Structure 1
Amino acid sequence: MNRYRAYRQRGARPFTAVVLSVGASLAWVFLRLDSPQWQRLLRNWRQYYPQLAHKRPSLGDPLRGLVQTLWLLLLRPARPARGADLKRGKGIRWGQRLGRGLYTTVQRVRLPLVGLMRRLPRLIGRSDALAQTQRRIKASGSTGERVFYWTLAVVGMVIALLCITSPFNLYAQLVFVVTLGAMALLMRYMPGRFPTLMMIILSITISCRYLWWRYTSTLHWESNLDLILGMILLLAETYSWLVLILSFIQSVWPLRRPVLALPEDRRLWPSVDLVIPTYNEDLSVVRTTVMAALGLDWPRDKLKVFILDDGARASFRAFAKEIGVGYIDRHDNRGAKAGNLNHALEQLTGDLVAVFDCDHIPVRAFLQLTVGWFLQDPKMALVQTPHHFFSADPFEHNLGSFRRKPNEGELFYGLIQDGNDLWNATFFCGSCAVLRRAALDDIGGFATQTVTEDAHTALRLHRAGWNSAYMRIPLAAGLATDSLAAHVRQRIRWARGMVQIFRMDNPLLGKGLSLFQRLCYANAMLHFLSGLPRLVFLTAPLAFLLLHAYVIYAPAVLLLLYVLPHMLHASLVNSRVQGPYRQTFWGEVYESVLAWYIMRPTLVALFSPKRGNFDVTVKGGMNESDRLDWRIARPYLVLAAFNVVGLAFAVWRFFYGPSNEYGTVIVSSLWVIYNLLLIGAALAVAAEVRQVRRFQRVPVKLPAALRLADGHLYPGLLYDYSDSGAGIELESARALAPDTQVQLLLERAGREFVFPGRVMRSVERQVGISLAELTVQQRIDYVQCTFARADNWLGWSDSHVPDRPLRSFFDVLALGAMGYYRVIEYAPAWVRLPAMPIIGATRWLLSFFPRMPRPIPSDSMKSTT
């Protein structure tokens, strides 16, 4: 009975509590429940029994609990992860072993090797022979040192060339790929950049060998159909190989540029014109950005804020006058955003120009952390900071991965831009950046020839000999696209614009750029040509299954020995280099979602670069109910149908085709299944989840207090806020009636600010407050106490789950299956009703399967987002 009450107090439903208490009683008789492992199990049963934690009781629950208990007995018990452990990957990596004996055996072999690899750099560094060799090289002078390293490079190139081009038989190829794979698996545990470089070299070697083999041994020259389709696939693979090599160059050595301090004498600080261009956005979106800009820590006489209104709206003019900022409008809209900025430049006089999109809210320290480089380097033209988003993009919102997995843009702003900075090739991204006015005048202002004026402006600055910098600190935050359709439109514009630049101002040609600047720009532009190659990969196995065409004319076993190592090495390197910014295999999901839509605009731009108009990205929208965007999903459904037909043909070929083609049929079928799951992932993203908040809430932990009308003060913690309200958790429970007038107390820079509001909801210690009745000055103070805090967005990614390639692979596969379930869920009744019994039965059977426990971070942030 005591155990039953304990489970009820922890939130278990009556039937579930009975099951758990009976199970605990039996375990008490036969097992040692006083051990720490079992005590942990009792305290955290929701994490260990996820299939029972949030469901209504049913007759099958005892069997589910028994199966899960037996499964847990085969696993090493693990405690819930703490925040520090999440960064090291502890507490969430559950050993999926069949038993303790096997696990212990594997660990006895693995741990010494891992420890050796982690100590190896220090052991090599203390080597006397290595030290003597280094002293001899330095003693030979600069010429001798250069000769040594050039000799080493030439020898390495010769060895790599032999490894790439030497013909191997089946067993030699097996030994070769196993050896290099083992080296890569061990090196991934070695700290430092040198092992990363070695893993990249191994990956390039394997990939080049695969491509060499494809060009020399896998084309069927005796069949025109096989040759044409095979060449199409081979060209797509060559494109992917080229992008892979360029991405290694671009991101191999992030610069991590430090902040430069400003002079103590503020008279030496430059004057800044901060501009906020807008066209058709709502005033509620622009208002917060302008109010935050007014609070920047910069001398008042050296900072001017301007709204650049391309819509020439009276309400914006009145708001600018009321709040005390400049207002510049125009009526022709020529040149879109770039034209708007150039029109404003004619009326600006500052030394620097800071540009913010109307939804990007700067923190108060933005200028203090970026302007120092302009004083250090007279040729510095651009300092760019990340585009950080406090709202979920369509992938995060529709898949429920917000702040658990890196979003689509984090790879670019977290790694690629930092890698570009090493080569003085930082891109201007149109917002959250500071530019030198003299540099803009030198190139004739912002570029207007393409629809991506930002990247084209940066290219022109670099051609003119100006420098750029990237500060990898999030110093502003904005709204992400709120629907997949808006996200696709934005990416179409980016893709069209980058291809336009590639045609009209090709970075590989012309003067003014270094070799690595050309490669960085070329990679960014080639990346947006991925639509057609991705569609080729999604349909390539159908060539054999439907048309009996050999796109890869080679035995299936040999294909596996070349393809799998190439994929394994690329995944390992990407996990090591890109892991904190993009989880393995998720890049394929992003590309699959966009492939169909960016293919046509990029191909058109290649042949007719002047076509296409600037399209403003609409943000701040709402979605009243869950739905599937059938218009966006249509091409994915067609691709899925073709692949299902191909899978049916695979079954027919396996039973009625020649026996010597069984291996090819199996490999093609696995490829089709993988493609179907990628397409399913795209369909999962197209299922729009309900979004009814007009103002996005930002999770936070800030000291705050609540003052009632009678003068009583209740301290607490601000746990979220938005433009129109806030949530506070009091130290003790306090029942407050709705519409009760209260005052919210916040602190900034040693000052206390008071904001009147009224209670919208009150549940135990949590109180939701509406702040809709603030004065203009109070709203400015509120924005600067919340959105514009200097440390506002630091540590935002600490809650990301560490990348594990194998786990990420299965996550993507599960996401693909969920996509098809969502299609059926939102399909018309004549499709949904016949399918739902089958899906229901499948889900019921799967509910009895054991599940891996879900460790919950002990320091997870409370959020109502």
Structure 2
Amino acid sequence: MPENKIGNLNALKRLGVFAAWAVVVAIVLALVSVRVDLYAQCILAGGIIVLMQGLRKFGYVTRFRVFFLMLSAFLLLRYIWWRTFYTLGYNGLPDFIFMVLLYAAEIYGVVIALLSYFVNVHPLDRETLPLDMSPDKLPHVDVLIPTYNEPTDLLEVTLRAALDMRYPGSHLKVYLLDDGGTLQKRTQASPEKAAEARHRHEELQALAARHGGIYLTREKNQHAKAGNVNEALAHCHGDLVLILDADHVPTVDFLEKTVGFFQQDEKLYLVQTPHFFINPDPVEKNLNMFGRMPPENEMFYAVIQRGLDFWDGAYFCGSAAVLRRSHLDEVGGIGGVSITEDAETAMKLHACGYRSAYLNEPLISGLQPETFSSFIVQRLRWAQGMVQLFLLKNVFRLKGLSIPQKLCYFSNTFYWFFSYARVMLLLAPMAYLVFGLRFYNANISEFFAYGLPAMLGAILTSDYLFGRYRWTLISELYEMLQSLFSLQAILLVIRSPRAPSFNVTPKGEHMEEDTISQLAGPFYVVYTLVVATLIIGIWKFFHADEHRDVILSAIGWDVLNLIILNACIGVLYERRQRRATPRVPTDMVGEVGLNADGAMPAITEAVAPEDHSLIEEKLSDRVPCRVIDISSGGAQLSFDAGLAPRIHKELNCLHVFNRALNHDSAVPIAVRNTFPSADRKSIVVGVQFIDRSVAGLSETVALSSGDSRRWADYRAHRNRSRGIARSVLLIIQLGTVHAGGQYALFFKGLGSYVKRRLVDPVVSSRFVASFPYKIKKIYAYIIS
């Protein structure tokens, strides 16, 4: 069936689902305000929680998905109705101000939860559409790779992979867009920086020419990535545009799986694919959870984008996406009002009546920031950009969008105010236990009847919707890590919406040794305050004459904050990262050639693929091995321990089946290290791929990054459900183990410092004299 007809049928289906939702919501809203006594409310709320858990336990939740979501929505709305009409009151100006601030945070949380239920009511699963290879129907594709300051080695891999995608060469052009070697940068005032820009300009020109790509730069660095891409669009004329970040390496079948959608739907402007990362972010790395839990971005790419796609709201994510050039030209190219140019562009194209599609298959492998500071740089840009869209592009006033699309975009932008809600929930126990503010006019029984069921319902629903991709309290951990910085950044955007500038996220970083993050200071201050609040709360509990139940609930709230903060402290202890190019686990059967005389065959740029047979003639023997991890630059090979006497000779060529290219590869290698496996049953040999010729790089890049099936398998392995209780216990365990080492290091250093300062009277007197200055300096650091 043509995709235009499919699009119309999907539109009718969306209309029907939305109408059904509208009716059900009206019924729920009518029931929310029904007044019952406290006992009846307890029975009602408890019964709903039992029913929700029963639906999950006995496997009926998928069949009754909408009903399940409505039960949770009812509990949330019932809580907000009670909270609004029965718990708000004036108890003094400070109490009233904090009450309003906390109430706003609760409203935010409920709105985000309800929007999430709506967005994810029916996630769409798309299958790839066949690609018509007829010359008159095959679109011309321009691949754009914007770059600013990324290493040349990283760019070379992406460029080579883009050129090696399975697509007729007559219909494919690959452009390297260099914003680090612009005329403005090559002629800047600083001689050192100008020389650096000229060197980059010449180096990337040579790189593009060597591989068969096209090098482009511009005169001035204006409008960051959006300006770079728009400048390039004036120099290329393909029917479709594939945009790849500098570190996003495409698989060989990327265009085969995406271009077919455009052939069958003329109103389609976008096919977006997931951003799939092969290295750990700072949470995964520093808590030693990489590959053992779903990555942070998987909730968005595995569930939310599919939910948005059902409502024709899947949006452009800046990379790993194909766009129709004519539709892009119609809106003036990539948007530049906000620093999240991708979402802004998608919003404009959806408003023009064009459609998008989301294909939930990993077709690129990318890098994400590994240090906490670079992670924060990236997330602050996202937060500021989405808040810019919220303020400057009022989605409810934007003509051309359907109501579901408006709700989807509102959900996407409004979510980024989470830092406000997270900070308010952090301060609430302190406001009550330390300052005695009365901002919640209810007793513990009322909270158990209304508040607790709403929380439990939201947790059950979140675990149902996202449990395979986001474990309980993991979202809270990521949000807490960002909130202490993003709240200030968001306030700056609110004050001046057009002020934020685009900051490039550092990639491919490495660290020589373990260290505490330079951004750890604010967390230590907050952690100390939360611990002090807990101590005060415990003291008040044992000395109070009344309200001990409320004090106990505030203590429990504080303990939850402490559990999350403890895990944050563990994340802030940065683990060393010496390898800039990550290797990903794999399991391939291969063979390695051995040199009889220990001499390594010479491999140079002059060696062509057809001449690699000359290398094999010099081999006297081969031994079997398994490739256990791989990157474009090297691999780790595992040999049976019994083969140890035979592999003392020089290993010189890896023979393995290259599934991306569907042939056997012979890859020249050099040994870097050898060590026994953990179980002592095998020997592991680290090798480097030494053929850096164009043909040699094509072979190794395809072998390491070209097979989309490997990414699909690896993704499925990482994404698995854990359960609510086990997830909470995991956070407690991770915080205890990884923060504990940091505490020991801190107190050891503190003891040494105190001993040094106090034993020497002269040093001690100087330290005391400088104490006011040190306090002032610490305060200045915190408020900055």
Corresponding residue for residue 683 of structure 1: 569
CA distance in 2, matches of 1:192, 1:267: 48
Corresponding residue for residue 548 of structure 2: 662
SS, match of residue 531 in structure 1: helix
CA distance in 1, matches of 2:589, 2:246: 29
CA distance in 1, matches of 2:628, 2:26: 60
**Residue 173 of structure 1, aligned match among 17, 26, 41:** 41
CA distance in 2, matches of 1:663, 1:387: 47
How is 1:319-398 mapped onto 2 (pairs within 5 angstroms)? 319-398=207-286
Corresponding residue for residue 143 of structure 2: 274
**Residue 336 of structure 2, aligned match among 433, 437, 448:** 448
Which amino acid in 1 is paired with 2:412?
A
Corresponding residue for residue 649 of structure 1: 536
Which amino acid in 1 is paired with 2:86?
S
Corresponding residue for residue 636 of structure 2: 727
How is 1:517-528 mapped onto 2 (pairs within 5 angstroms)? 517-528=405-416
Which amino acid in 1 is paired with 2:669?
G
Residues 687-739 of structure 1: CA deviation (Å, up to 9, x unaligned): 11121112211111123211122421223322111232112224662346678
Matched, 1:436 2:324: yes
CA distance in 1, matches of 2:635, 2:554: 54
Corresponding residue for residue 535 of structure 1: 423
SS, match of residue 312 in structure 2: coil
8 Å contact 1:676–1:816 — kept in the other structure? no
Shift in Å, 1:348:
0.2
Corresponding residue for residue 225 of structure 1: 94
CA distance in 2, matches of 1:151, 1:687: 50
8 Å contact 1:628–1:687 — kept in the other structure? yes
Residues 807 and 448 of structure 1: CA distance in aligned 2, closer, same or farther (over 3 Å): same
Corresponding residue for residue 474 of structure 1: 362
Matched residue count: 687
Shift in Å, 1:770:
1.6
Corresponding residue for residue 580 of structure 2: 694
CA distance in 2, matches of 1:817, 1:709: 51
**Residue 300 of structure 1, aligned match among 169, 176, 187:** 169
Residues 186 and 271 of structure 1: CA distance in aligned 2, closer, same or farther (over 3 Å): same
CA distance in 1, matches of 2:456, 2:585: 38
Relative to the length of structure 1, the TM-score reads 0.76
8 Å contact 2:161–2:698 — kept in the other structure? yes
SS, match of residue 712 in structure 1: strand
Corresponding residue for residue 611 of structure 1: 499
Between stretches 802-811 and 736-745, larger displacement belongs to 736-745
Which amino acid in 2 is paired with 1:410?
E
SS, match of residue 402 in structure 1: coil
Shift in Å, 1:306:
1.0
Shift in Å, 1:593:
0.8
**Residue 650 of structure 2, aligned match among 733, 740, 756:** 740
SS, match of residue 197 in structure 1: helix
**Residue 807 of structure 1, aligned match among 726, 729, 736:** 726
CA distance in 2, matches of 1:306, 1:241: 45
Which amino acid in 2 is paired with 1:593?
L
How is 1:185-196 mapped onto 2 (pairs within 5 angstroms)? 185-188=53-56, 189-191=58-60, 193-196=62-65
Residues 200-253 of structure 1: CA deviation (Å, up to 9, x unaligned): 111111111111111111123243332221121111000010011111111121
CA distance in 2, matches of 1:604, 1:400: 35
Shift in Å, 1:632:
1.6
Corresponding residue for residue 425 of structure 1: 313
Residues 478 and 542 of structure 1: CA distance in aligned 2, closer, same or farther (over 3 Å): same
SS, match of residue 285 in structure 1: helix
Residues 225-283 of structure 1: CA deviation (Å, up to 9, x unaligned): 32221121111000010011111111121111111101253542111011111011110
Residues 157 and 782 of structure 1: CA distance in aligned 2, closer, same or farther (over 3 Å): closer
Shift in Å, 1:152:
11
Shift in Å, 1:757:
1.5
CA distance in 1, matches of 2:727, 2:60: 22
Matched, 1:596 2:484: yes
Shift in Å, 1:446:
0.7
Which amino acid in 2 is paired with 1:680?
N
8 Å contact 2:146–2:228 — kept in the other structure? yes
CA distance in 2, matches of 1:335, 1:150: 41
Shift in Å, 1:162:
5.2
Which amino acid in 2 is paired with 1:815?
L
8 Å contact 1:310–1:331 — kept in the other structure? no
How is 1:199-214 mapped onto 2 (pairs within 5 angstroms)? 199-214=68-83
Which amino acid in 2 is paired with 1:754?
A
**Residue 560 of structure 2, aligned match among 655, 674, 679:** 674
Matched, 1:827 2:746: yes
SS, match of residue 705 in structure 2: coil
CA distance in 1, matches of 2:358, 2:364: 14
Residues 29-67 of structure 1: CA deviation (Å, up to 9, x unaligned): xxxxxxxxxxxxxxxxxxxxxxxxxxxxxxxxxxxxxxx
8 Å contact 2:287–2:738 — kept in the other structure? no
CA distance in 1, matches of 2:498, 2:320: 28
Residues 826 and 252 of structure 1: CA distance in aligned 2, closer, same or farther (over 3 Å): farther
CA distance in 2, matches of 1:279, 1:446: 17
Stretches of structure 2 lacking an aligned partner (at least 5 in a row): 1-14, 182-200, 597-619, 677-681, 755-784
8 Å contact 2:102–2:424 — kept in the other structure? yes
SS, match of residue 389 in structure 1: coil
CA distance in 1, matches of 2:268, 2:208: 31
Relative to the length of structure 2, the TM-score reads 0.84
**Residue 158 of structure 2, aligned match among 278, 281, 289:** 289
Between stretches 197-206 and 600-609, larger displacement belongs to 600-609
Which amino acid in 2 is paired with 1:378?
E
8 Å contact 2:61–2:68 — kept in the other structure? no
Shift in Å, 1:192:
5.9
Matched, 1:493 2:407: no
Matched, 1:754 2:666: yes
Corresponding residue for residue 635 of structure 1: 522
Corresponding residue for residue 849 of structure 1: none
Residues 479-523 of structure 1: CA deviation (Å, up to 9, x unaligned): 111111101110000111111111212212120111111111111
CA distance in 2, matches of 1:597, 1:736: 56
CA distance in 2, matches of 1:204, 1:336: 41
Shift in Å, 1:780:
1.5
Shift in Å, 1:421:
0.7
Which amino acid in 1 is paired with 2:360?
R
Shift in Å, 1:814:
2.8
Residues 242 and 157 of structure 1: CA distance in aligned 2, closer, same or farther (over 3 Å): closer
8 Å contact 1:165–1:209 — kept in the other structure? yes
Which amino acid in 1 is paired with 2:312?
N
Residues 783-807 of structure 1: CA deviation (Å, up to 9, x unaligned): 1122112323012233344230111
8 Å contact 1:738–1:760 — kept in the other structure? no
Between stretches 812-821 and 516-525, larger displacement belongs to 812-821
Between stretches 223-232 and 322-331, larger displacement belongs to 223-232
8 Å contact 1:575–1:803 — kept in the other structure? no
Shift in Å, 1:833:
7.2
Q: CA RMSD in A?
A: 2.3
**Residue 709 of structure 2, aligned match among 791, 796, 802:** 791
Shift in Å, 1:430:
0.8
